[in-house]
Amino acid sequence: MTRRIVVVSGGLSEPSTTRLLADRIAEATRVAVGARGDHAEIEVIELRSLATDLATTFTAGVPTAAVARAREQLATADGLIAVSPVFAAGYSGLFKMFFDALDPDTLTGVPTVIAATAGSARHSLVLDHAMRPLLSYLRALVVPTGVFAATDDFGAGEAATALKGRIGRAADELAEQITRSTGSPHVVSEASPAGRPRVSGNAVHTDGPSFRELLGAHLG
């Protein structure tokens, strides 16, 4: 069975250590999913290329075509890998802006790995103090192991070995959650049955009262 895993990379530079870490986690997950008898299809959303579209989406009040596509990718994903650089002890503004643009029900129940990069290990708490609360608020199923990588972790020696271990552990946890179900674990529906189905937020519903009707007597 094919499992779709979407990678959200918040790196701003090119090349980017954030994208490098995202790719390493994605590859480890692909291998872990394969070891469980399924096939993983990886899709990457580079937030750097969406920056202008995100700003337009918020100022105009409607998503651009690029943002709408990204919403659909996440609404139909079987798993998510979310990676951000650290700025001022938190995830980047662009990273937050992207998740602010999602429907609150897009990521409900989606198995997720959170990861971050920074120049120093002093910023590692960003995983549990910022990223995990954000993704938990969106009702994503965040796996226990987060992956933090400082600059030194990309070299050789014990730090690199430890990073490889964290990546492998997180990938195994994500693969286990993704492959646990025998069918597609998430049904996307804009027409809601019981409960809270996952939706992209792109559908426009016109069956409610008009703005004039809502204002009622205020219009005279």
pTM above 0.75, yes or no: yes
Q: How many CB atoms lie within 10 A of CB 212?
A: 9
Q: What letter represents residue 149's amino acid?
A: A
Q: Identify the pLDDT of residue 187.
A: 43
CA distance 97 to 134: 12
Over residues 63-85, mean pLDDT: 97
Q: What is the percentage of the chain residues whose pLDDT exceeds 70?
A: 85
Q: What letter represents residue 155's amino acid?
A: G
- What confidence tier does 102 reach under pLDDT thresholds 50, 70, 90? very high
So what's the architecture of 2-219 in CATH?
3-Layer(aba) Sandwich (3.40)
Q: Identify the pLDDT of residue 218.
A: 65
Over residues 149-169, mean pLDDT: 92
What's phi and psi for 152, nearest 5 deg? -65, -20
Distance of CA 85 to the CA centre of its chain: 14
Which of the pair, 213 or 169, is modelled with greater confidence? 169
Helix 93-100 to helix 51-60 angle, to the nearest 10 degrees? 50
DSSP notation for the chain: -EEEEEEEE---SSS-HHHHHHHHHHHHHHHHHHHTT-EEEEEEEEGGGGHHHHHHHHHHSS--HHHHHHHHHHHT-SEEEEEEEEETTEE-HHHHHHHHTS-TTTTTT-EEEEEEEESSGGGTTHIIIIIHHHHHHTT-EE-S--EEEEGGGGSSSHHHHHHHHHHHHHHHHHHHHHHTSSS-S--B-SS--SS--B--S------S--HHHHHGGGG-
CA distance 172 to 143: 10
Q: Identify the pLDDT of residue 214.
A: 66
- What confidence tier does 58 reach under pLDDT thresholds 50, 70, 90? very high
CA distance 44 to 26: 9
Beta-bridged to residue 90, according to DSSP, are 87
Residue 188 has pLDDT above 90, yes or no: no
- What confidence tier does 210 reach under pLDDT thresholds 50, 70, 90? low
What's phi and psi for 39, nearest 5 deg? -115, 135
